[in-house]
Structure 1
């Protein structure tokens, strides 16, 4: 009998193998040029080789690091804003609709409209547009996660705090924050990949910025290097997945009980 974790790993490996096989078949049949060179969809192994080479020689590593830095900045700002809104709503419940609508606006704001405005308001060479798009990409799930988490505390627990003379702030510190951890961790995990992709999108609009995964993708597209484009896309996906995994691992360290119960009650 294969253990459940091992079955999950085997199933994931099998799925990845099928995906790679399908990718290779499509590349060498549908998109192979008449002269035998790869077309817009190159085979997977040359893409992997280019990705590794780009990381080793630093050509891609610096760009990915620059994008990750902007993503982390936007991610951090979004977390602070979401936590502040959540606490304000718990203290002043009338602000609940405002906080929810703010999250919706952030989710619905079109990047193509916001980015040029940010570019005009920021100096040349600034990564402000990447930071803003990263923030907007994650604000909605973070606001929802914080509000759901803070509201998940059992009413009996809140009543007990009030019975001992505690106010709304005491209830937040002693009960609501602990109850919110599972929902907050789930939101943080989902937001991590979105922050990187938002920052990468912002680099398509930046002025005076030469580094970044988005700028690398544009340069590869300009010269028609399809293998390089796919390699950058592959590495961007990998970095996004690493961000998700890093937040998940941090959550298991800081709040190990959430991995087993999903709840503090």
Structure 2
């Protein structure tokens, strides 16, 4: 039954996706939609095959910036959450900054960063990805560090556990699920933010620049093929963080 259930879980979204693609293809053919409105799935698939190397190169460029930004954002978020959970003054002082980082618009931030670090550097894209990834990891990790059941706290007090022992035995294991929740959200947001930042300047690489270039040359099916590349890149990030979560949480006693 377990293998049957797994097959059903895998086949259901695949069948739904195939039905959606068939309906899309039929709508384009029957309604005679022009490519600038929406190209057909077969046309997009043809561009994917023909320009697979270009799409892969652009995807790797975007993924590289998103990965570096994700790592930087996660490290800063974890460190900040640890400080905020241990000192109320730091938490109150940093709350406005975290709120500002959560609402900062990429369309306004990216051009400013390109002016600061130069249009030929990838620094602006990495910083944008790091800021966007920082917020969900910080918020979820901070909540996890503060989520300690009173019975666990009382039990450690009865056993005369030190603060370090309490953190290692209860606080950190309890915060891990919250951390990975924020990490899964941040992984997809890092890819999206790095891609959007490419629209506003910087080196001529990455999926964002490729999409704008294809649209400007009226290669609409190719532009959609690059969109598919961005979706696949985001899925790789999300699946990687989900696998990391299952690997870490599955090994906990």
**Residues 192, 243 of structure 1: 8 Å contact kept:** yes
**Residues 56, 229 of structure 2: 8 Å contact kept:** no
CA–CA distance in 2 between the matches of 1:100 and 1:145? Answer: 14
Q: Unaligned regions of 5+ residues in structure 2, if any?
A: none
1:64 CA displacement:
0.9
CA–CA distance in 2 between the matches of 1:46 and 1:21? Answer: 13
Write the mapping of 1:60-79 to structure 2, written as runs, cut at 5 A.
60-79=55-74
TM-score, structure 2 as length reference: 0.90
Distance 1:175 1:241, change over 3 A: same
**Residues 129, 205 of structure 1: 8 Å contact kept:** no
Matched, 1:96 2:94: no
Match of 1:261 in 2: none
- Pick the aligned partner of 2:189 from 185, 188, 194: 194
1:180 CA displacement:
0.9
1:160 CA displacement:
4.3
Q: Say which is worse superposed, 38-47 or 114-123, in terms of deviation.
A: 38-47
Distance 1:4 1:100, change over 3 A: farther
Residue 203 of structure 1: SS of its match in structure 2?
Answer: helix
Match of 1:9 in 2: 10
**Residues 207, 230 of structure 2: 8 Å contact kept:** yes
Q: Unaligned regions of 5+ residues in structure 1, if any?
A: 259-263
- Pick the aligned partner of 1:171 from 147, 166, 176: 166
Q: CA RMSD in A?
A: 2.2
**Residues 150, 179 of structure 1: 8 Å contact kept:** yes
Q: Which has the higher contact order (CA 8 A, sep 6+)?
A: 2
CA–CA distance in 2 between the matches of 1:250 and 1:196? Answer: 18
Match of 1:241 in 2: 235
Write the mapping of 1:1-265 to structure 2, written as runs, cut at 5 A.
3-30=4-31, 32-33=33-34, 38-55=35-52, 58-162=53-157, 164=160, 166-167=162-163, 169-207=164-202, 209-256=203-250
CA–CA distance in 2 between the matches of 1:20 and 1:39? Answer: 18
CA–CA distance in 2 between the matches of 1:76 and 1:47? Answer: 33
Distance 1:122 1:80, change over 3 A: same
Number of aligned pairs?
251
**Residues 69, 126 of structure 2: 8 Å contact kept:** yes
1:48 CA displacement:
1.9
1:183 CA displacement:
1.3
1:94 CA displacement:
3.2
